Amino acid sequence: MTLPEPVALVLAPVGRDAQIASAILATGNIRTRICDTLEATLPLLDVAHCLVIAEEALTSADRNEFASWLDNQPAWSDFPIVLLVMRGKEVDKRLTFLDRYLIVLERPFLASSLTNSVRSAVRARDRQLEVKSYIEQKQEVADRQRLLIRELHHRVKNTLANVRAMMGATARSSDSVDGFVRDFSARIVSLAETHSMLTDDYWQTASLQRLLLGELRHYDTTDHPRILLDGPEVALVADIAIPVGMAFHELASNSSKFGSLSTSQGGLDVRWTIDDSGPMRQVNLDWREYNGPEVHPPKRRGFGTILLEKVVAVQCDAKVALHYHPSGLRFTMALPLRDTRLVPSYS
């Protein structure tokens, strides 16, 4: 049913009227398609720019479906029809349903009259299609805005729960008010940076590498590089990015206090790959610290450990493991990559 654009349908079943009209329009560089019956014409109306039709093609056919199609056009549409009638005769009263859409052309007509009439109809349809495109774009923007508001409500609710959990955990692990303020503020800043990444991205995703860079850039210098990040670009949806970003903050903070990043000789390698072999794509991440102080398993489970083993594992459906090797902490994570996006494709 796809037709070249723009195109005028021609329905004039008596004699050679259709062929003559089509030939005249072709000299004016207007594409046409000749139709044999009104029934065959109807499926093509949605992709045509106008209809050139002889009066007798309507009076001798069942017009109900055609009238229904005209009545049910969307608000932006006013489909143009060029009606060919005999000179000196009134338009048949049975065709009054065409009044809103009609350009009447008396036969016999000049070639220029037909060409100009159809060209005006095609231009009118072009303008209508521009209006349609504008309306659709506005609707897409409105739909996206509604989805973003829903996502914002969802994210704010989760964020408040995260803040409350962080506040309680930080309070339990702090020895002083100053320590509480310092650690709690750092966690809030990390959470805010992840939210900024998500807000700035149209798809509401955050880059895995940017999450790592945001937490680790403070501990690396160009004069003394000691952090290696190696892996493909990975976009994490919001529900995954937030807990993963918090996990990276806890790992980096712990390393800067007790691990390899607490000494100038220590280093950190973070590598990740994409695994497409299973039913769902997943990222396999390996965090390895080296040349730092000797590592010992913690005597108590802190907020970071709980976050990694409970929140990330449960909320993200990830498999995580902490290995307290004497030579350096190792953290591994197999993270399923959900590909659900919260906003429609739009450009």
Predicted confidence (pLDDT) per residue in 55-91, tens digit? 999 998 999 999 999 999 998 999 999 999 988 788 8
Model pTM above 0.75: no
Pair 242, 306 in one domain? yes
Residue 345 located in a structural domain? no
Pair 128, 223 in one domain? no
pLDDT at 4 over 70: no
Considering the chain, what is the average pLDDT of its residues?
Answer: 86
Domain that holds residue 19: 7-134
Pair 128, 206 in one domain? no
Pair 184, 328 in one domain? yes
* Residue 346: per-residue pLDDT: 44
Predicted confidence (pLDDT) per residue in 253-312, tens digit? 999 999 999 998 999 999 999 999 888 899 999 999 999 999 998 887 777 777 787 778
Residue 144 located in a structural domain? no
Q: Which residue has the higher pLDDT, 147 or 52?
A: 52
* Strands 328-336 and 282-290, sheet pairing: antiparallel
The CATH number assigned to the domain holding 115 equals 3.40.50.2300
Residue 194 located in a structural domain? yes
Per DSSP, the residues of 189-235 read HHHHHHHHHHHHSTTSEEEHHHHHHHHHGGG--SSS--EEEE----E
Pair 201, 277 in one domain? yes
Total of domains in the chain: 2
Predicted confidence (pLDDT) per residue in 312-342, tens digit? 888 889 999 999 999 999 999 999 997 655 4
* Residue 90: per-residue pLDDT: 82
**CB-based contact 289:328 (threshold 8 Å):** yes
Q: Which residues contact 256 (CB under 8 A, 6 or more apart)?
A: 219, 262
Pair 210, 332 in one domain? yes
Pair 108, 203 in one domain? no
**CB-based contact 44:1 (threshold 8 Å):** yes
